Structure 1
Amino acid sequence: NNTTIQQLNNYYLNRSHHAQLISNLAAMNVSAQLYDFIFAARSNDKEDNALIKATSDAGNVYFGLAFELLKETPPGYEDPKKANDIKYLDRTKWRVVVKGDVTTFYVGVNPLATFPALSSASRGLGFLSLKADCDGAFRRLPLLVRYKNAFYPSYAFRAICGYLDVPPERIVVKPGRTITMKDAKRPGAEAGHDIVIPIDRYGNMVINFIGPWERMKHYNFADVLRASEDQDEMEMWKEELSGKIIVISEVSTGALDVGPVPTDTNFPLSALHANVMHTILTESFLRELSESEMLLIELSLLLIILMLSIRFSSTPFSLGSFAVVGGYVGLAAFSFFYANLIFNIVRPLLIITFAIISIVVYRYIKEEKERNFIRATFGRYLSNEVVEKLLGSPEGLKMSGEIREVTFLVSDLRGFTSLSSRLSPHEVISIFNRYLERMVEIIAHYRGTVDEIQGDGILVFFGAPLAGNDDQKRAIACAIEMQNAMEKLNLEQQQLNLPELSMGIGINSGEVVVGNIGSEKRAKYGAIGTPINTAFRIESHTIGGQILISPSTYEKVRSLVQVHGTMEVQFKGIDQPVTLYDVSGMGGEYKLALLTKTTESFTSLKPPLPITCFLLEGKMVSKTGILGYIMRLSESSAEVSLEGQVEIHSNLKILLSLKATPGLSEVYAKVVSLDQSNSTSSKVSVRLEFTWLPENVKTFFDNKRSE
């Protein structure tokens, strides 16, 4: 891996390195060493001889060979390999017990093997070749291939047969059904048992993956290589690796042996062989349903859909169809997780789709018209400058990208997603449209460009497509006026008997690539670069009514902007903490001040209110809760005693005690201050700012404060 390359200061390891590693692993008493390499030709005699000797002395090293895997031998095919290579392959072929027609098994052509002297010194060879599924993913592996009227085992299967002491004559093949390893016996075991592996007609075994790459144990090549320099370290490694099966492969940056698997999009394929061995050793085999079994299921699904279409009108039919799809997917998931059965998902769902397409055509056309209307509607949210420059002429659609410093404003409504689930669709759209109309009007006044409306958030550019020398000032002034406009908007909400809204805003400046993204038929003026992501991260640290700006923005306006204070936050991927500035006003020509909240008074709760807090990381909620008590309460804040540690600026999901508060919903809050004066206590006192309070919880809190 990259660590080994850095430690050895050499991207290309010589064969003496491999020889030393083999010797070290042998001294550590590993059960088997599987090299995911093909040493096809001799190199330096001294290094080759060292590698051959180490391999011979170890007695448990397996090397790879490769075939081009085909369904049948091409007409007139002649093997181009040298006579010595073919002669050695003849010595390594397997004669297994076959019960059935194996002509459907893959045929290997164009073999490439480890050079003969090293192959002879090894415990054996196995083919490394893989076949991806039609979607490009690797889910299965052929255990045996045919070559010149004999069988050759896969790299993993050969090693496992050696590990379990199963010679070829005790392997029984039933094509399209099973491969049985007779009397398989683990090292040191007195008695063995048969291991029955389900296969398809090509000899493939479906791999039951342990999980993503991170779930597997990995060791640095350099660490094991250098262990022989210290006897104590050798003993430590021996204790760690003794009895294990070791796979040696390259996973450094730039390694080509990667591909998609069910658990990862870029999975080192050497680990696929490890998963094959794990599946066989644990006998956790997956079985795919046969064609006849799937056909029966598909006919049943089609019959159900046809009955629903006859019985119900459009809406109930759609709901029923979704229920059928969900039920089938649920059945497939249950069978996979609890019975190791694999249902075909795609084909039945395609059948269901084609069965209902005639009924949903009208709805599709109607929805397409609505989508076109939405596209036209959102065109109103672009500033006139962008519309004129990008859409006003054909030339505007041909603008190439350019690097430009842009200031990004990101706003987001606090708790709007939860609020939406509690209101009717009409109320949600009405509230959001009123909010959006106010905000877009202010943004246009400060010559900002609404790039995207993402859910309940807005992304705004200042400085593109037309740059100015006051982009940062306009962005901050715009943010202040947007926040101040929320007060009037909330008064209207109260008059309509609707809940109040609160908004957080983050601002960042930096160089990005801007230009038209798309084609002449469908184009969008946009930006690409890290500063956009940083702006979203900054916004995620705000509470309702707050504006946070980055150092890059602050430095441009430090003589004009007023701030309440600063906070240090740690962004993922950035080593040093970043200072964020809490904006309170803007001087100069703007003379704007953020409307201040009335000082809130806290009420002590007697007895304190028990709660359970869960840390929020993006959309993920921690599984372990932290118990605590609300000690004092104000309209939008709380002082809480927690029986566990949290970090400043953490986002929390809070569940009120069901016994004390039956039927109440969860609450969301941000940690705004910590009292760590008593470092010896496991308890910590924190100040929370509520970012979302459902109406029933708000009423409950008001009652508690008035008691």
Structure 2
Amino acid sequence: MVKKNGVRIILLMGVFWRILFIEAALLVFSLFYKWVTEDVAPMDLFWYGVRIIIMVGIIIAFMMITLEKFLNRRIITPLEKIAKANKNIQEDMTRAGQIEISDDAPDEIKSIVTSRGKMLETILSVSDERLNLVNFIRETFGRYLSNKVVDEILESPKGRQIGGTRKTITVLMADLRGFTSLSETKDPEEMVQLLNRFLEKMSVIIHKYEGIIDEIIGDAILAIFGAPESHDNDPERAVACALEMQNSLIPLNNEIIAEGYPSLEMGIGINTGTVIVGNIGSELRMKYGIVGAAVNTAARIESNSIGGQVLVGESTYDHVREYVKADPAQTAMMKGMKKPLVFYSVFAIESRYNVLLQSPAAGKILLPIKLPFQCWKIKDKKIDLIPLAGETIRMDDHKIDAHIPSGLEAFTDIMLRFDFCLDAHCFEDIYAKSIPIEKEGGESFNRLQITSMDPKDKSIIKKWMIQGLY
């Protein structure tokens, strides 16, 4: 298809009209000259003009045909090839290679083709370097932030500006139990390797459920569901993710126990609420994060959990109540809160995710044993100076049923110390959390969920259980 403003039409029509103008001028001049200088009858002058017009037409036709072939080969076709190749750059870069032109093409066109080839090579080289740089940035920062966050920062015009947007998200807070005290007795490099194995397994699961790891704080994980992209099932995915995280800890514990490490326990708290999501900080130092009461509430819910437990706040439970199985609501009065904190212990979700919480300690029988002890309350990571006396009723290596005359509020963290030594072995301090008081045979007792115990002490208790129960 010949373009209306293409080089072919412009050149040929330009030549045609110029030749026609020249021939017309010569015709008029010839007729006028003959009429003035010769005594010619009008009819003879007319036929003289007709002969000249026919001759001019033949000359124009000959010149246009020969000029078209000449211009086609030397100018028009090379320029059309360049235009077509440039168009291919927009459609398919692989089809925009070198242009083949005849050897007798003008030097200027050859120079255009050569310059174009070099320019194209430079553009491709710069594009490859830029693509490699972008991929490097995505791959590198994708290890610190999720790919979705990196994409938003790189592609959005406002991605690097300080500020944020208001969003309703679901926050998941997970924390290992007793890892700090374990770190004091192990080589730091070993603990880092162990922690990395734990974080690797948890990260895979969080990404599977389309969550974003916002922060890793020591042995704790803060993940969010609903930013930068929101979905209707954000709370549902967060709960399913938490249950699978707890289940994945069982095979990991089997591995590390075989290597001589104590088993790991993790508590998880989940809360849904409105936060500000975006870049927080200053022009010198900023981070992509979330700010809002929903984050603090998730942390408080998690602080009431015990190892192997998934606690969800009331706001999250309202979104998933038709999908989950949970224990009755529990309440705890937290410092700085005007109303009690309400949460539910979830052990299954039956939606399309269909995850059931597995418990390695399920079905265990507690060993009836009476051992005197003293315990101290822990508030804000500070140990009370005044001890409380108590005595065990039954226990295993995960929990203790005890009688504490002065009483102990539910969800209280304690440090427990036995008042005796056995065969020159004195038990190390045990860290535990009290869970709601239960009654058995009309007698009230405290159930203490062990969060940290020395591996040697745990081994002794296991031996007692084997000897006492079997």
**Shorter-normalised TM-score: what interval?**
0.5 to 0.7
Write the distance in 2 (CA, Å) between the matches of 1:490 and 1:505.
Answer: 17
Give the 5 Å matches for 1:403-482.
403-482=166-245
> In the TM superposition, what is the alpha-carbon distance from 1:648 to its structure 2 partner?
1.5
* Structure 1 residues 694 and 404, CA gap change in structure 2 (3 angstroms): same
Write the distance in 1 (CA, Å) between the matches of 2:154 and 2:286.
Answer: 9
Task: Give the aligned partner of residue 381 of structure 2.
Answer: 619
Write the distance in 2 (CA, Å) between the matches of 1:565 and 1:582.
Answer: 8
The answer on 1:641 being equivalent to 2:406 is no
The answer on 1:535 being equivalent to 2:278 is no
> In the TM superposition, what is the alpha-carbon distance from 1:616 to its structure 2 partner?
1.2
Task: Give the aligned partner of residue 348 of structure 2.
Answer: 585
Write the distance in 1 (CA, Å) between the matches of 2:415 and 2:171.
Answer: 28
Q: TM-score of the superposition, structure 2-length normalised?
A: 0.66
Task: Give the aligned partner of residue 601 of structure 1.
Answer: 365
Q: Deviations over 1:548-600 (max 9, x none)?
A: 00010000111111113321111222233232110111122111111134211
Q: Tell me, what secondary structure is at the counterpart of 2:278?
A: strand
Task: Give the aligned partner of residue 459 of structure 2.
Answer: 699
The answer on 1:397 being equivalent to 2:157 is no
Q: Tell me, what secondary structure is at the counterpart of 1:590?
A: coil
Write the distance in 1 (CA, Å) between the matches of 2:240 and 2:261.
Answer: 28
Q: Tell me, what secondary structure is at the counterpart of 2:373?
A: strand
Write the distance in 2 (CA, Å) between the matches of 1:519 and 1:550.
Answer: 33
Write the distance in 1 (CA, Å) between the matches of 2:149 and 2:389.
Answer: 52
Write the distance in 2 (CA, Å) between the matches of 1:496 and 1:434.
Answer: 13
> In the TM superposition, what is the alpha-carbon distance from 1:677 to its structure 2 partner?
8.7
Contact 1:410–1:539 (8 Å) recurs in 2: yes
Q: Percent identity?
A: 37
* Structure 1 residues 659 and 484, CA gap change in structure 2 (3 angstroms): closer
Q: Deviations over 1:397-450 (max 9, x none)?
A: 126322111111000000000111111112101100000001111111111111
Structure 2 counterpart of 1:603, which letter?
L
1:630 to 374, 379, 392: 392
Write the distance in 1 (CA, Å) between the matches of 2:247 and 2:414.
Answer: 26
Contact 1:668–1:690 (8 Å) recurs in 2: yes
Contact 2:215–2:222 (8 Å) recurs in 1: yes
Q: Tell me, what secondary structure is at the counterpart of 2:228?
A: coil
Write the distance in 1 (CA, Å) between the matches of 2:179 and 2:294.
Answer: 25
Write the distance in 2 (CA, Å) between the matches of 1:472 and 1:702.
Answer: 39
> In the TM superposition, what is the alpha-carbon distance from 1:684 to its structure 2 partner?
5.8
Task: Give the aligned partner of residue 510 of structure 1.
Answer: 273
Write the distance in 1 (CA, Å) between the matches of 2:220 and 2:309.
Answer: 15
> In the TM superposition, what is the alpha-carbon distance from 1:658 to its structure 2 partner?
4.2
Contact 1:673–1:686 (8 Å) recurs in 2: yes
> In the TM superposition, what is the alpha-carbon distance from 1:659 to its structure 2 partner?
4.4
* Structure 1 residues 381 and 564, CA gap change in structure 2 (3 angstroms): farther
* Structure 1 residues 429 and 575, CA gap change in structure 2 (3 angstroms): same
Contact 1:381–1:440 (8 Å) recurs in 2: no
Task: Give the aligned partner of residue 448 of structure 2.
Answer: 688
* Structure 1 residues 494 and 470, CA gap change in structure 2 (3 angstroms): same
Write the distance in 2 (CA, Å) between the matches of 1:377 and 1:499.
Answer: 33
Could you say which structure has the greater relative contact order, defined with CA pairs below 8 angstroms and 6 or more residues apart? 2
Give the 5 Å matches for 1:228-627.
379-391=142-154, 395-398=158-161, 400-519=163-282, 522-597=285-360, 598-605=362-369, 608-627=370-389
> In the TM superposition, what is the alpha-carbon distance from 1:481 to its structure 2 partner?
1.0
* Structure 1 residues 694 and 590, CA gap change in structure 2 (3 angstroms): same
Larger Rg: 2
Contact 1:406–1:511 (8 Å) recurs in 2: yes
Q: Deviations over 1:22-61 (max 9, x none)?
A: xxxxxxxxxxxxxxxxxxxxxxxxxxxxxxxxxxxxxxxx
Please provide the CA RMSD for this pair: 2.2
Write the distance in 2 (CA, Å) between the matches of 1:422 and 1:388.
Answer: 42
Contact 2:394–2:400 (8 Å) recurs in 1: yes
* Structure 1 residues 586 and 626, CA gap change in structure 2 (3 angstroms): same
Contact 2:183–2:191 (8 Å) recurs in 1: yes
Write the distance in 1 (CA, Å) between the matches of 2:185 and 2:155.
Answer: 42
Contact 2:141–2:150 (8 Å) recurs in 1: no
Structure 2 counterpart of 1:635, which letter?
D
Q: Tell me, what secondary structure is at the counterpart of 1:401?
A: strand
> In the TM superposition, what is the alpha-carbon distance from 1:678 to its structure 2 partner?
11
Contact 2:162–2:280 (8 Å) recurs in 1: no
Task: Give the aligned partner of residue 158 of structure 1.
Answer: none
Q: Structure 2: where are the runs of 5+ without partners?
A: 1-138
> In the TM superposition, what is the alpha-carbon distance from 1:534 to its structure 2 partner?
0.7
Contact 1:640–1:688 (8 Å) recurs in 2: yes
Contact 1:503–1:546 (8 Å) recurs in 2: yes
Where does structure 1 differ by over 4 angstroms across 4 or more consecutive aligned residues?
376-379, 391-394, 658-662, 675-679
* Structure 1 residues 506 and 378, CA gap change in structure 2 (3 angstroms): farther
Q: Tell me, what secondary structure is at the counterpart of 2:385?
A: coil
Write the distance in 2 (CA, Å) between the matches of 1:423 and 1:654.
Answer: 22
> In the TM superposition, what is the alpha-carbon distance from 1:381 to its structure 2 partner?
4.4
Write the distance in 2 (CA, Å) between the matches of 1:487 and 1:377.
Answer: 31
* Structure 1 residues 449 and 675, CA gap change in structure 2 (3 angstroms): closer
Q: Tell me, what secondary structure is at the counterpart of 1:631?
A: strand
Task: Give the aligned partner of residue 4 of structure 2.
Answer: none
Write the distance in 2 (CA, Å) between the matches of 1:700 and 1:447.
Answer: 43
Task: Give the aligned partner of residue 655 of structure 1.
Answer: 417
> In the TM superposition, what is the alpha-carbon distance from 1:378 to its structure 2 partner?
7.6
Write the distance in 2 (CA, Å) between the matches of 1:381 and 1:474.
Answer: 22
Q: Tell me, what secondary structure is at the counterpart of 1:543?
A: coil
Write the distance in 1 (CA, Å) between the matches of 2:449 and 2:163.
Answer: 45
Greater fraction of residues in helix: 2
Write the distance in 2 (CA, Å) between the matches of 1:378 and 1:614.
Answer: 44
Write the distance in 2 (CA, Å) between the matches of 1:422 and 1:441.
Answer: 29
Contact 2:162–2:278 (8 Å) recurs in 1: yes
> In the TM superposition, what is the alpha-carbon distance from 1:508 to its structure 2 partner?
0.5
Q: Structure 1: where are the runs of 5+ without partners?
A: 1-375
Matched residue pairs, number?
327
Structure 1 counterpart of 2:402, which letter?
V
Give the 5 Å matches for 1:132-151.
none
* Structure 1 residues 444 and 513, CA gap change in structure 2 (3 angstroms): same
Contact 2:438–2:444 (8 Å) recurs in 1: yes
Write the distance in 1 (CA, Å) between the matches of 2:241 and 2:284.
Answer: 33
Structure 1 counterpart of 2:169, which letter?
V
